[in-house]
Structure 1
């Protein structure tokens, strides 16, 4: 009788364990978010780039002021849940740089890539002087490395290119070769040896903003490349500010091209006819006809991809509110709404093509 009782108890225990395993296997998780994610002038940035390390997400971007004089450096934000962000510190603190530092100026569009066991930080900057108050005459790409995502970072080499370049990104292929892509009145590419920071092929401009045969929504300016490989195809996300701020997509069977549009229309972004009309007039594209998008933004662009809460690809970029945003949005902007803030959206891949839903401004639910 005792032996039978023990057997019954073991069976009940085993069933209980299997029931717990089955329950955990079928548990659904949910992630709720509302864009813009950040709503804080103190950590306002453009060109957000997110990298996940262990169970945390880290974010860098272009701090204010963006267009004139010095900006404070490369700030590092950190989050445990992708929703609540705080500043962890400065990867480059402009106030601590020596007076003769050749990259003391703008610190635009930094990115962090984990390649071969190290973290590689690309920064786009030049030297601000009394004669060159924007530092644009020497603005180019600088490469730093660290054993930790939060630094300290050591300068490897810079400037990496002999002319004005901006918005640098890195991509490591499956064979271990690393590539540098950047912008500068068009898109550029080269092979790079990270250990020395030397380009092993000449920097090549492969796409102009007024490339013959390409659509008019690119002619204002193209920038912010980001490269990923899927199913043997290389995809390059890039941004254009002709009609607001939109994201286009190129593809190629080689990391150095030739590149072609994966979609004849932008795959993401916002369009507003009344936004920056002076640039449209000066650039000769004020004649373009298009419909405004219904979202409350005038900019959603310069994107990069990262691992989201569901383990899948998400996109990050800055979301900037539009002063003439459509009803039912208030046209009285709060202080944080006058500055660029972080926005995120899930990325979808289907039939050998990437898709991103239009930028959202209401609560979204993702179950996984």
Structure 2
């Protein structure tokens, strides 16, 4: 729900949150509109921090300012009012959209990966929608509640790419960002990886392709199923919402989203080598196919493996939580958590 408190009260609310006061549960998750949900469990306080693309923001003098907000919950069902963890500065490189925030604990600090879009245009391939500067930027804080500070002056994804949904992956002690290269720029959206410096501030070297969206046997061209973009039909394959998960037997899986035969869906890719560098084998059937996606996976405090997605993919998105069964070679949906 939008934050509507005056500025002074808002600052007091944030200060209380920063002091570790979670506040009274304000609502149930069924009442909160959210896309791209991400859950950070914090065992020390038995608190779930829930970030995502939301309609909530900071209102000051009647003006809504873009920000990354966080909800807190003890049970994943009842959520606190949202508080800001990072406000987009007036002079920031990107002030159009703020999408898909993730917060990762890494080497004693918390790192916010967030996709930001600017008004700056990029060269646009023929037959594509106008390309704009879009990328994932990394910020750092001492707490899941922020305040987060940028590690640099721009995104860690390539500045001339339309990139999104960056996520942290550490393999053999080396940090990487896995992210999506937007279909609007390359037609067949892809999943790519770039090494990061140890402090996550810089990209090291050039990105490497992991796989393209059209490699998924279940994936359909968005135009072929009538999925319009800005009122137009495009022949393109969408790559969204990558999430890496290592199973109980060491198998490395990537959950990811695109369009299936009729709706937005979640598929699984499996690394044949056990490394993030693949090669990647696409499982033939989606894990979820009923108009929901952008999966992330976490463990509850009672040790259940859970996938969270947004569903449906338009207008009234809500976070939905599904318990997973780890079969080793893949994952299976067991059922939805809690009442709706």
TM-score by length of 2: 0.72
The answer to whether the Cα contact below 8 Å between 2:29 and 2:76 also exists between their aligned partners in 1 is: no
Q: CA deviation at 1:74?
A: 1.1
- 1:227 maps to which of 219, 244, 248: 244
Q: CA deviation at 1:181?
A: 0.7
Q: CA deviation at 1:310?
A: 2.1
1:223-259 Cα offsets, whole Å, 9 max, x none, are 1101122333221110112431211111112121111
For 2:313 and 2:277, the matched residues in 1 are separated by: 36
The answer to whether the Cα contact below 8 Å between 1:129 and 1:135 also exists between their aligned partners in 2 is: no
The answer to whether the Cα contact below 8 Å between 1:127 and 1:135 also exists between their aligned partners in 2 is: no
- 1:130-149 to structure 2, matched below 5 A, reads 137-149=132-144
1:208 aligned residue: 212
The answer to whether the Cα contact below 8 Å between 2:175 and 2:200 also exists between their aligned partners in 1 is: no
For 2:284 and 2:65, the matched residues in 1 are separated by: 36
For 1:351 and 1:305, the matched residues in 2 are separated by: 15
- 1:107 maps to which of 98, 101, 119: 98
The answer to whether the Cα contact below 8 Å between 1:105 and 1:135 also exists between their aligned partners in 2 is: no
Greater RCO, 1 or 2 (C-alpha within 8 Å, sep 6+): 1
For 1:92 and 1:83, the matched residues in 2 are separated by: 24
1:250 and 2:269 correspond: yes
1:45 aligned residue: 34
- 2:329 maps to which of 349, 352, 362: 352
Q: CA deviation at 1:205?
A: 2.6
1:313 aligned residue: 305
For 1:340 and 1:119, the matched residues in 2 are separated by: 27
2:281 aligned residue: 260
1:128 and 2:110 correspond: no
- 1:166-177 to structure 2, matched below 5 A, reads 166-173=164-171, 175-177=172-174
* Change in CA separation of 1:357 and 1:218 when aligned onto 2, cut-off 3 Å: farther
Which 4+ runs in 1 deviate beyond 3 A? 128-131, 360-364
Q: CA deviation at 1:202?
A: 1.3
Query: Unpaired runs of 5+ in structure 2?
Result: 1-27, 57-63, 123-128, 182-188, 223-237
For 1:38 and 1:355, the matched residues in 2 are separated by: 24
1:56 and 2:47 correspond: yes
For 1:218 and 1:91, the matched residues in 2 are separated by: 37
The answer to whether the Cα contact below 8 Å between 1:64 and 1:72 also exists between their aligned partners in 2 is: no
3-state SS, counterpart of residue 217 of structure 1: coil
Higher fraction of helix: 1
- 1:236-247 to structure 2, matched below 5 A, reads 236-242=254-260, 243-247=262-266
For 1:321 and 1:250, the matched residues in 2 are separated by: 21
The answer to whether the Cα contact below 8 Å between 2:136 and 2:166 also exists between their aligned partners in 1 is: yes
For 2:330 and 2:200, the matched residues in 1 are separated by: 35
TM-score by length of 1: 0.67
The answer to whether the Cα contact below 8 Å between 2:180 and 2:239 also exists between their aligned partners in 1 is: yes
2:289 aligned residue: 269
For 2:334 and 2:221, the matched residues in 1 are separated by: 24
For 2:200 and 2:37, the matched residues in 1 are separated by: 27
1:342 and 2:336 correspond: no
